Amino acid sequence: MRRIVSIIILIIIAVGFIFAFSKIPFGKDKINVANYYIKKGIKQTGAVNIVTSVVLNYRGFDTLGEVTVLFIAAVGLGAVLFVERKIQKNMDDKEDKTKRASLILRTGSRLLFPLILLFGAYIFVHGHLTPGGGFQGGAIIASGFLLMYLAFPKQRINKKTSGLAESLSGLIFVGIGLLGLVFSGYFLTNFLPKGIPNTLFSAGIIPIIYIAIGFKVGFELTGIIDDLLERSR
Amino acid sequence: MVNPSLLIAVPLAFAFSIPLFGLVSKKIGKYIPVVALLINVGISFILIPQILKKPAVVSIGGWSPPFCINLVVGPLGVFLVTLISSIGLLVAIYAISYIKEEPTEKYHMLFLLLITGATGIVLTGDIFNLFVFFEILCISSYALVAYNKDKEGTEAAMKYLIQGSVGSSFVLIGIALLYGMFGTLNMADIASRVTSADPTFLFISLAFLITGFGIEAAVFPLNAWLPDAHSSAPSSISAILSGIAIKTGVYGVARMIYTIFNADGILTFIAFLGLLTLLIGEMSAFRQNDIKRLLAYSSIGQIGLIVFALGIATSLGVFAGLFQIVSHALAKALLFLAAGYMIYRVGSKSIDSLSGLGRKMPLTSFAFTIGSFSLIGLPPFAGFISKFSIVYAAIQVKKPIFLVFVVIALIATVIEAGYFFKVVQNLYFKEGKNVDNVTETSGYIIVPMIILVISIIVIGIHPQFITGLLKGAAGELLGRTGYIGWVLGGS
Amino acid sequence: MSGIYNWMYYIASGGLILIGLYIVLVKTNLIKIVIGLNFIDTGINILLICIGYVRGRTAPIFSRPGISPANVVDPVPQALVLTAIVIGVAVLALALSIVIKVYQHNKTLNVTKIKGLKW
Amino acid sequence: MQLITILIVAFLGAGIVYLIGKISGKARDILAVLASLIVVILVSLAYNQKIYTSFYPLPFLNLSLTLRIDPLSWFFAIAVAGIGFLSILFSLEYMKHYQKLDFYYSMMLFVNAGMLGVVLSADFLSLYIFWEIMSWSTYLLISYKGGKAVGAGLKYIVMSTVGSIAMLFAIVSLYTSYGTLEFSSLASLLQTASSGYILFLLIMFIIGFGIKNAIWPLHTWLPDAHAEAVSPFSAVLSGILVRIGIYGFVLVMYSIVGLNLLHKLGYGLLNFNYILCWIGAISIIIGTFIALLQDDDKRLLAWHAIGQGGYMILGISFGTTLGIAGGIFHTLNHCIYIALLFLVTGAVEYRTGGVRDLNQLGGLIKKMPVTFIGGLIGISGLIGIPLTNGFVSKWLIYKTLIMEKHPFLAFVALIGTWGTILSVYKFLHNIFLGQLPEKYKDVKEVPWAMRLPMIILTSVIILFGILPGIPLNVISGIERSFGIKPLSTIIFGMPREIGELNIINILAAIVVAGVFIYLIFSLSTRSRRVNQYDNYAAGSFIPKDKYQYSVRFYDPVYRIIGPYLRDVVDDFYYWLVEKSKSFFQGVRQIYTGNVNTYALYILLFLAFLIITKIGWGLW
Amino acid sequence: MIFQLILIFIMIILAVAASLFKDLINAVVACAAVSLITSILFYFLQAPDVAMAEAAIGAGLTTAVFIIAIRKTERYEK
């Protein structure tokens, strides 16, 4: 019964989709506001990756919000899965001490871990030049940590340090925004010199923010995995 | 002129810095939201007179409006921001000593971010940015509903999360469709181009947006999460959810219908939905024995009344709806705060167990009484003015269907009066069974309640304090060409 | 045939959204429901990206010489999707943590059995 | 300014009394009495003035709150102030054993202030505001005692809310049609309105005011509320608060709508006045005869309050000079004697430890002589025995009925009086006469603070009974302000041309009759006083306390009329409430707790919107 | 073109399969595969940034989070 009703409803919605999509032709040039970004982006922001300049400059506020969302998720997850330290300790003691990953995994991940971190860092530092940026780099860093968790289930990151790094990088983001407010009267203005496009030290505040985001995302995703692994048994 | 972007940046910065303050001392964390929101209240009060003279459009990043995200601080925005930060401040004060469940630091961060999300929603002039702040609001409220980590809280959060996620997805679909059609995300820009598009297409995207925001606004078929979430969250969060969060949903719906789509045809249906919401809410509240669930259902009813008033769509109707937003926010926050502490002291949520508290907790019970009287719409409290204006606005449009609507709405008021008066009697005139050890609250708990009581009475006696602002806000909602002009005029 | 080419991405996104909604409507397992929500998100992301796609143009990155501004796709939906992906994973992580808590309290993932709150 | 002062004193008094009470009980009592006394003085100073002030603008609604005083409002204001003062005086001793006295006094003053506001306001918005203040403070006071009073209070406030929304609806529709709510402007503007609209307005206002006034199908809250409230407040409640409804009737029917329009409503037997007076007649019959069945003294009086309300409606519904005068005068009289009677029951309760059951009382005449006199004069007024005020007003009403050629209604009113006599005699007899139960051997007269209000009210009854010209003069002023031909009065009644009523004549007749009666009694053989236990009871021992010959006083009558006299309306309301409760329970079931279902609701909504657009082309 | 069409077809099949699997681990793996294909589609749609993000976050981390959650709860849908 529920199935039938659901399918009928979904068919109706599908009809709605068809109507709506038929008005948005696929692959046609519908670019309107974005023309401005494409034409003036490099000059105004100094970043050759227009997506990055949109993400961090024209729509930087969205990104701030997005970082906040991730932050909320990390904090909220910590709050929901929170266990008093005493109980936590008891749980840890009960756990099987002999659980270990295989040798190949351990050695391999020891070898890979620095490389993954380096790759992640490369991605977010070059966010304004090549595809990629803080989010992607942060996710890659987090997957490096994930690998380490798989290899060494007993090892944990230092929650305090990672928490501090999270909040510091968040503060850097907001702080740069506020500095923009101070220097040019608008929040999140790209107030630094733009430099020569297509070089590493260009695009004003974009690399700085992307580095902050990279750290933040990396630590937050790691923290989420850590919380999930550790706290909730 | 204070830059309105501070309204968002300041609480955000404070929220991010709570772990840093935690290094200094564990106890500082709980005062941070108070400080941040105090700043916000200050800024918004400074802004009110300026905005009433001339609305401000502040771009983020320094480009002119359609090309970057901008905050549109009109009368409506500044009104809602003032409301949000004031209620938020009071609840933050309350939470200082109310929240005892660990980890309190995280609670205060989430709380502050929730307020930031609500502030962002009402200020932003960009539809995708609206979605982002909407997500901030929703996600932090999911986490906060589950904050107590008990069976009910997590279950409610789970249900809320599923429905809320579906809702946000719909919002995003609507935004995607709009972007596909118009190639812009600026609300004023979309509004100025909206006449050029196919009406069916527009309506489909409007349907997705209404459904999405309607879930947060708790309009009738979309409100099943509300009683669970409001009744299981910590009481301070219930106060915020009921006082602020659902209002931002209503704001979203109103903004979509009035400003962006100018969808006059659907307004009567919206009023009807509001009425239905009102009826269902009040009817479901009638037989409740769980005080917080009762208040939650009553919130549904009141939201129905707000939506009904907004659906009238005359300047008086919108004015009445906004007034109802104020009076409901004040009264419901007060009720949840008072009920929360009563529950904390008594240890049970059932109404019967609250009997006899009038003697033991006179101030709290008094606050509860004032709140419920205001909600019922008795003079001389704030609720009276709003209910009178709503009835007046509904009769004034001189459509027979609205006459029928208003009669039904008034009947729903009787139901509401029935159960609230019963609770008040329970507090004062029934013998309590095991309330001997209960004592009155003090300090941080009682201050916000007293402030709320005073403001309910003051607004009820002297509504002119806010009517100017509300008239302006109603004008902003109805005058969409004016709104488009503020944003795009300079470009 | 060109009709299918024009519609296939829309079919992909709409199909994912509808499958996700179907899972949310019909499946009773909580983790399944979260998977459904994830599908909805993915579907919307595809929708956004193909709204921004212009046939025959390249990615909006000018790191190589010879890309003219008139020959790139719309960068804005890509920025939006970046945001949406991160928001999606945030919601997902929170959802799963709440699901874990619900499981601890109820010892089941079947939503028809988790009805402590009703009426 | 003067009117504002009255209201400010009244409202501030209420607030301050509460706060002072937290510090000292004595100061609170003194202050409460003082505040109500000041109000009495201020109101009496306003006699014969015509003031109109606008005291509070509400620019966002284009309205301002206004106050006025004219003969009608002064008449009711002085009654409110007077009864309020006396009952607060009475409470000083009576309430000593109760708790939460701060709340009690403050609310008493609040109710008074609310009523004053209602009668003094010059536009419907202020009237409504004060009306609501009055309603909720009354509700708090009714439920004050706890226990059964809680149910009574809830019943009161729910019905009252229904009344208020009817009134609100009428007020708002008036405002949208005419753009003003002031009585004087509305009175002229309404002259051009269609009679259908007028009828709608009148019905709405009759629901609103009628629920307060407890006219027949809307009366069911009253017996419970009167019986369960504390006695001094019952005096206020029954004496004046309920009668604010009559004020509303008179105001709307004569001051605003006016006689001309009123007579145009309806045809023949469906005439508006005619229907209204039949409602009054039904109230009389139902009220007095159900009163006959009551064993609870306050409940008995409460049913009489309904019955007497019927007389007032009967009086004012005709709209003739005599009738309106009779109705308004009866309102005043009723307010005096019923307040007195409630104070009497309060006094009895005070000394007997809260006994209200008529079957357990008796023989208190010697123990509480002042109270007895109060009770006696009170019921004489209620019946309408000559030389009490009730006589004059009832006489006016009868006269109206006969002059307007409604013999049947007159007959109904007469039957009502018989019922009244029967039932109040039971009241007097079962409390004061007959045999004194053993446990009340040590009962004393009540203290002075309680005696004083009773004495004052008793003397007012006699005063108005002998010199009815004093109040009638004011009433003729009221009629003049309505534009009706005023009643011409002399100090002892009315001159010959309207229908002679001269108390001197009646006094003379009574003196003659008294002499006759005395002669008969003194000439006949003297009866011998017998101890109750000194008699023959079929050879069995009469236990001392079991035998109370006044128990089940009208048992044979009960058996005859009891089955017919159920309060059908009340049953119907309860049935309605039960039905709606189970309906609400059903509505709640849509929140099933299953999240799939909730998601289904969401998608249904979306699908509904889409299909109405695509498939139907709506919107 | 055909390649993309096939990918989309596989993706839809996988999504349907994910909803049908009783073993949640299988469902999650199908889900990860859907994400991966999405990522490839993004690449075809000239969105390398998004493709990277989807691959790293959607296919990688999400799956990990899912699997951890399944380990903490129960594996089979009942």
| Tens of each residue's pLDDT in chain B, 491 residues | 678 888 888 898 898 888 888 888 878 888 889 999 999 999 999 989 888 888 888 888 777 777 888 888 889 999 999 999 999 999 999 998 888 887 888 899 999 999 999 999 999 988 999 999 999 999 999 999 999 888 888 999 999 999 999 999 999 999 999 998 888 888 888 888 888 888 888 889 999 999 999 999 888 888 889 998 998 999 999 999 998 999 999 999 999 999 888 888 888 889 999 999 999 999 998 888 888 999 999 999 999 999 999 988 888 899 999 999 999 999 999 999 999 888 888 888 888 888 888 888 888 888 999 999 999 888 888 988 888 889 989 888 888 888 899 889 988 888 888 889 888 888 888 877 767 777 777 778 888 999 999 999 999 888 888 888 888 889 888 888 888 888 887 54
Per-residue model confidence (pLDDT) at position A96: 53
pLDDT at residue D495 in the model? 65
User: Is omega for the bond preceding B103 within 30 degrees of 0, making it cis?
Assistant: yes
- pLDDT above 70 (res D104): yes
For B33-55, write each residue's pLDDT tens digit. Answer: 999 999 999 999 998 988 888 88
Other C-beta atoms closer than 10 Å to the C-beta of D276 total 23
Query: Which of D204, D222, D287, D6 has the alpha carbon at shortest distance from D121?
Result: D6
Other CB atoms within 10 Å distance of the CB of residue D37: 15
Q: Which residues of C touch A62 (CB under 8 A)?
A: 79-80, 83
Single-letter residue type at D369: P
- Give the closest residue to A214 by CA, choosing from A146, A132, A150: A132
A193-225, pLDDT tens digit by residue? 777 777 777 777 888 888 888 888 888 888 888
Query: Region D184-201: what's the mean pLDDT?
Result: 82
Better-scored residue on pLDDT, D369 or D545: D369
pLDDT for the residue numbered D530: 67
pLDDT over threshold 90, residue D92: no
Q: What is chain D's mean pLDDT, rounded?
A: 82
| Mean pLDDT of all residues belonging to chain E | 89
Q: What ranges do the domains of chain B cover? A: 6-488
Q: Bridge partners of B61?
A: none
CA atoms within 13 A on the CB side of B140: 30
| Residues B143, A76: C-beta atoms closer than 8 Å | yes
d(CA E5, CA E21): 24
Residue with the larger pLDDT of the pair D361 and D233: D233
pLDDT exceeds 90 at position D375: no
| Residues sharing a CB contact under 8 Å with residue D453, sequence separation 6 or more, in sequence order | D86, D87, D89, D90, D343
The Cβ-side half-sphere exposure at B123, using a 13 Å CA radius, reads 33
Closest CA to A178 of B136, B11, B45, C83: B11
pLDDT of D351 higher than 50:
yes
Q: What is the band of A109 on the pLDDT scale with cuts at 50, 70, 90?
A: confident
* Cβ count within 10 A of residue D490: 17
> For residue C45, what pLDDT is reported?
92
- The mean pLDDT value for D479-485 works out to 80
Residues of E within 8 A of C2 (CB-CB) are none
Kindly report which listed range (B253-262, D278-287, D529-538, D550-559) carries the lowest average pLDDT score. D529-538
Give the residue with greater pLDDT, D619 vs B46: B46
Structure tokens at B82: 């003032």
Measure the CA–CA gap between B351 and B345, rounded to whole angstroms.
13
Contact D589 C111 (CB under 8 A): no
Q: How far apart are CA D278 and CA D290, in angstroms?
A: 18
**Helix, strand, coil: what percent of chain D each, to 5?**
75, 5, 20
Q: What is the mean pLDDT of residues D424-430?
A: 82
ipTM rounded to 2 decimals: 0.93
Residues in chain C: 119
Q: Which of residues 67-106 of B touch D (CB under 8 A)?
A: none
CB-CB under 8 Å, C47 with B169: no
**Do D435 and D75 contact (CB within 8 A), yes or no?**
no
* pLDDT score at A99: 62
Which residue is associated with the tokens 């200020």?
A: B123
pTM value?
0.92
Contact C52 E47 (CB under 8 A): yes
What is the mean pLDDT of the segment spanning D85-103?
84
For the segment B376-416, what is each residue's pLDDT rounded down to a tens digit?
A: 888 888 988 888 889 989 888 888 888 899 889 988 888 88
Chain D: give the shortest CA distance to residue C81, in Å. Answer: 24
A98 pLDDT higher than 50 = yes
With an 8 Å Cβ cutoff, is A51 touching chain E?
yes
Quick one: tokens of D202? 């009148």
* SS3 category, D52: strand
Q: Best residue in A17, A206, A210 to probe C by mutation, most C CBs within 10 Å? A: A17
Task: Answer whether B touches E (≥3 Cβ pairs < 8 Å).
Answer: no
| Contact assessment for residue C74 and residue D557, using Cβ atoms and an 8 Å cutoff | no
pLDDT in tens, E28-53: 999 999 999 999 999 888 888 889 88
Do the beta carbons of residue C40 and residue C20 sit within 8 Å? yes
Give residues with Cβ within 8 angstroms of D533, minimum separation 6: D542, D544
* Torsion on CA atoms B295, B299, B300, B301, rounded to nearest 10: 100
Q: Say what the pLDDT of residue B86 is.
A: 93
What length does chain A have? 233
Selection from B314, B341, B327 nearest residue B370 by Cα: B327
CA-nearest of A59, A39, C61 to B63 is A59
pLDDT (0 to 100) of residue B491: 45
Residue C36 has pLDDT above 90, yes or no: yes
What is the pLDDT at residue D421?
Answer: 85
Min CA distance, A19 vs chain B (Å)? Answer: 7
Instruction: State residue B446's pLDDT score.
Output: 87
Q: Does residue E64 surpass a pLDDT of 80? A: yes
What subunits make at least 3 CB pairs under 8 angstroms with A? B, C, D, E
Quote the CA–CA distance of D451 and D460 in Å, as a whole number: 14
Span D35-56, pLDDT tens digits: 888 888 888 888 877 888 888 8
User: What topology is assigned to C2-55+72-110 in CATH?
Assistant: Helix Hairpins (1.10.287)
Neighbours of D515 (CB within 10 A): 10
Quick one: A186 exposed, middle or buried, by C-beta within 10 A (0-12, 13-18, 19+)? buried
Say which amino acid occupies B88.
Answer: G
Where do the structural domains in chain A lie, given as residue ranges? 2-231
Total residues belonging to chain E: 78
